[in-house]
Amino acid sequence: MRRRLRIVTALGAAVLAGCASAPVSTWKAAPGDLAWQHQAFPGKAQTEFSPVHDEGRDALRARAASSASMMRSRLRVEPADLGRVRFSWKVPQLIADADLALRHADDAPVRVVLVFEGDRSRFSPRDALLAELVHSITGEEMPYATLMYAWCNQRQPGTVVPNPRTSRIRTLVVESGTDKLNRWLDYERDIRADFEAAFGEPPGALIGVGVMTDSDNTRSLAQAWYGPVRLVPKAMQAPH
């Protein structure tokens, strides 16, 4: 049972819709923005999230000390309405021993997490067993697919990194290396295009968004700042 709990805890971002403790903090940068709640994972020390004002920006500071938890927002955007996602972050230092492709080193100073519905009957036998395990422990369904945007130590932007535990989580590297540390970086991504690049199929409904700073696998310290995550509806995108 302890081993099973470790597996589910390690897949915390994949169970964004469940496996949560009672929220211990909330954040909403401005009226109309997504409302965020803190989500802790069983058996894990919690990352500290604090609303701050940094360089003229409303931000959320994350401090991880051998910890893993996230701020998340539940929502629903149907596939036909998926547009773009805007987010920003500032990272002062990378996690030296982190590697998104390795179970024992799967940490990142910043992650933006998108969670999707889909046809779970298409799960591989391994993922189907994992989904049953998640449900038996948490009482919640494992999402069909989880797409993460992250800063990687060495892989080039555009690289897709499969999660070492399940094919239903894939990370798209949007920043790499040390050249842009300690400054605010802004991104705007096409959700549908990125999902298709990562999973090779069209996305289902978007049902959750989160930000996550974790250092539990490398037993290290990490700090970062996040700006608000904002969804740009398809109808509001300028034509190309």
Q: Tell me how long the chain is.
A: 240
* Count of C-beta atoms within a 10 Å radius of residue 225: 21
Q: What pLDDT is stored for residue 127 in this prediction? A: 85
CA distance linking residue 229 with residue 227, whole number of Å: 6
User: In this structure, what token pair is assigned to residue 72?
Assistant: 């998340």
Return all residues near 30 (Cβ < 8 A) that are at least 6 apart. Answer: 58, 228
Q: What pLDDT is stored for residue 219 in this prediction? A: 97
**Do 111 and 89 meet the contact criterion of CB atoms below 8 Å apart?**
no
**Do 39 and 16 meet the contact criterion of CB atoms below 8 Å apart?**
yes
CA distance linking residue 63 with residue 48, whole number of Å: 5
Spatial CA neighbour of 113 closest among 175, 84, 71: 71
pLDDT of the chain along its 240 residues, tens only?
555 545 555 555 555 544 444 334 677 666 667 888 998 887 899 999 999 999 999 999 999 999 999 999 999 999 999 999 999 999 999 999 999 999 999 999 999 999 999 988 888 888 888 888 877 777 778 889 999 999 999 999 999 999 988 889 999 999 999 999 999 999 999 999 999 999 999 999 999 999 999 999 999 999 999 999 999 988 665 554
Q: What pLDDT is stored for residue 18 in this prediction? A: 44
Q: Which helix (H) or strand (E) holds 5?
A: helix 2-10
The residues pairing with 37 across neighbouring beta strands, listed in sequence order, are: 26, 72
Q: What pLDDT is stored for residue 140 in this prediction? A: 76
Return all residues near 180 (Cβ < 8 A) that are at least 6 apart. Answer: none
CA distance linking residue 111 with residue 13, whole number of Å: 10
Task: Please identify, in words, the CATH class of the domain defined by 2-233.
Answer: mainly beta
CA distance linking residue 41 with residue 30, whole number of Å: 27
The verdict on pTM exceeding 0.95 is no
**Do 57 and 89 meet the contact criterion of CB atoms below 8 Å apart?**
no
Q: What pLDDT is stored for residue 23 in this prediction? A: 39
Angle CA(195)–CA(138)–CA(104) in degrees, nearest 5? Answer: 60
Q: What pLDDT is stored for residue 4 in this prediction? A: 53
Q: What pLDDT is stored for residue 211 in this prediction? A: 96
